[in-house]
């Protein structure tokens, strides 16, 4: 099978057998762990058959054998690796979904993978012997390389928190292109992320967080799908830092031995600072768990399409109400200090619950308002909080 090449490996320490029948042995545990990490990138329905396959590259170097696996949908890619016993180095492509589903059903133990003629791949484990129809490795698209310079190390715990508190505010409307991602803002002493869909806005910042390699300010627009993949990789790693880099077209995130690359979103993110409320002087403070439970109950009787609930503040009380012709009406109240003029504002109940869920329904939250027509704001009531978190909601007419 001439013309097979291995990318991303140093020539001095790597030997690839050209034209040979690739053959390796890997443990099921190691293989399944890596396939699980990258399988969601593969497009289930694609007009380009090769994109339904994993690219499998086997190297045999001075430091031992490596099984490198790549998945891509052309907009993003994940590369990962596992230790392997290499009999013959080489590369091939294997149907991604079929391989993943099959390996999940195999018992623990060693799995041998061997490339046969005409791109067929043989997989053996114990008494199981399977052959899968692959495609030529030469047709697999080129995956961009992580730049070797100008990278920034971001703590995994911080990036996980930023994503969890903003990703739900990203727009799903394809026509609103620049809102289909979250804006990551890197400064020498802080890191922040903001997302909006035009109806709500999430802003979270970790100040007093030194970042080497950053001078001034760097703004990066990360697509929603890449952010979801990054969140999944962060949740399954023991690494303490993410290595971030970018070039003119691509974003790169290296987490341990896995690298996510994604095409950049182009365009100008909205001026989010202009919509941050500055004179919301009416406020109440309530326990997050209590508010979440009350909204959850009342929302069962909200209009199914809008999900709108009324928030009414009056003397030392916060009332949440909803009604619809189809299901009826409901009211819940929470005792809380409030002495300003009464105020009634309508909000999407799901939007409010998203914010409370991002906080783990823990602690106290402050609800701030100006009037019934202006944007409201929710934020944790903790002046010593590690993160500055603001959630802006546009009101609804109900």
DSSP code per residue over 216-228: SEEEEEEEHHHHH
pLDDT at 290 over 90: yes
Mean pLDDT of 290-298: 97
Residue 9 pLDDT class (50, 70, 90 cuts) = very low
Give the residue-averaged pLDDT of 211-224.
Answer: 89
More confident residue, 149 or 251: 251
Task: Give the burial string for 301-330 (b: 16+ CB within 10 Å, else e).
Answer: bbbeebbbbbbbbeeeebbbbbbbeeeeeb
By CB atoms closer than 10 A (0-12, 13-18, 19+), residue 225 is middle
Q: Is residue 6 over pLDDT 70? A: no
What's the CA gap between 182 and 177, in Å, rounded? 11
How many Å apart are CA 191 and CA 303, to the nearest integer? 39
Residues 2, 18: contact at Cβ < 8 Å? yes
The whole-number average pLDDT for the span 197-222 is 91
Strand partners, 320: 311, 332
Name the band, by pLDDT with cuts 50, 70 and 90, for residue 12: very low
pLDDT score, position 383: 80
pLDDT band at 63, cuts 50/70/90?
Answer: low
Once rounded to an integer, what is the mean pLDDT over residues 355-362? 95
Tokens representing residue 145 in the block:
């390389």
Q: What is the pLDDT of residue 16?
A: 40
Res 22 pLDDT > 50:
yes
In the chain, % helix, strand, coil (3-state, to 5) comes to: 25, 40, 35
Q: Which of left, alpha, beta for 8 (phi over 0: left; psi -120 to 50: alpha)?
A: left
* Coil/strand/helix, residue 300: helix
Give the residue-averaged pLDDT of 274-278. 92
Contact indicator for 322, 290 with CB cutoff of 8 Å = no
Question: Can you give the pTM of this predicted structure?
Answer: 0.89
Split at pLDDT 50, 70, 90, the class of 213 is confident
Pairwise pLDDT comparison (47 vs 132), residue with the higher score: 132
pLDDT digits (tens, 9 = 90+) for 116-174: 999 999 999 999 999 999 999 999 999 998 887 778 999 999 999 999 999 999 998 87
> Is 24 in contact with 17 (CB distance < 8 Å)?
no
Q: Which of 163, 145, 147, 143 is nearest to 213 (CA)?
A: 147
- Residue 280 phi/psi, 5-degree rounding, is -85, 90
DSSP lists the bridge partners of residue 373 as: none
Position 356 scores a pLDDT of 97
Q: Give the model confidence (pLDDT) of 184-196 as tens digits.
A: 999 989 999 999 9
Rounded mean pLDDT, 74-89: 95
Residue-averaged pLDDT of the chain: 90
- Does residue 59 have a pLDDT over 90? no
Say if residue 17's pLDDT is above 70.
no
Q: Yes or no: say if 174 and 263 are a contact pair by the CB < 8 Å rule.
A: no
| 176 neighbors 262 (Cβ within 8 angstroms) | no
Residue 85 C-alpha from the chain's centroid? 33
Report H helices in 319-370: 349-358
């Amino acid at each position: 099978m001439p013309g097979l090449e291995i990318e991303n490996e140093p020539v001095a320490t790597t030997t690839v057998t050209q034209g040979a029948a690739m053959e390796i042995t890997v443990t099921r545990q190691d293989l399944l762990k890596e396939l699980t990490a990258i399988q969601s990138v593969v497009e289930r329905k694609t007009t380009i058959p090769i994109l339904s396959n994993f690219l499998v590259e086997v190297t045999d170097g001075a430091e031992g054998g490596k099984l490198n696996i790549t998945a891509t949908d052309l907009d993003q890619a994940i590369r990962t690796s596992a230790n392997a016993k290499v009999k013959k180095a080489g590369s091939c492509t294997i149907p991604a979904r079929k391989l993943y589903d099959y390996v999940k059903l195999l018992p623990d133990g060693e799995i041998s993978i061997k490339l046969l003629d005409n791109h067929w791949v043989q997989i053996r484990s114990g008494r199981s012997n399977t052959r899968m129809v692959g495609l030529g490795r030469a047709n697999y698209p080129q995956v961009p390389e992580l730049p070797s310079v100008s990278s920034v190390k971001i703590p995994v715990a911080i990036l996980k928190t930023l994503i969890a508190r903003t990703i739900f505010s990203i727009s799903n409307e394809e026509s609103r292109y620049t809102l289909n991602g979250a804006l990551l803002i890197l400064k020498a002493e802080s890191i922040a992320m903001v997302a909006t869909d035009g109806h709500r806005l999430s802003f979270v910042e970790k100040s007093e967080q030194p970042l080497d390699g950053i001078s001034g300010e760097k703004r990066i627009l990360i697509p929603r799908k890449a952010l979801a993949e990054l969140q999944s990789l962060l949740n399954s790693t023991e690494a303490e830092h993410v290595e971030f880099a970018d070039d003119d077209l691509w974003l790169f995130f290296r987490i341990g031995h896995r690298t996510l690359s994604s095409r950049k979103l182009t365009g100008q993110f909205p001026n989010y600072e202009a919509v941050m409320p500055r004179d919301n002087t009416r406020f109440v403070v309530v326990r997050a768990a209590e508010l979440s439970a009350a909204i959850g109950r009342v929302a069962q009787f909200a209009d199914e399409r809008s999900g709108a609930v009324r928030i009414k503040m009056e003397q030392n009380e916060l009332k949440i109400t909803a009604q619809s012709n189809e299901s009826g009406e409901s009211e819940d109240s929470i005792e809380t200090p409030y002495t300003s003029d009464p105020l009634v504002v309508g909000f999407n109940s799901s939007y409010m619950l998203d914010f409370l869920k991002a906080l783990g329904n823990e602690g106290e939250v402050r609800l701030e308002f100006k009037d019934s027509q202006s944007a409201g704001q929710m934020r944790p009531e903790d002046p010593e909080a590690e993160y500055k978190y603001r959630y802006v909601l546009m009101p609804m007419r109900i």
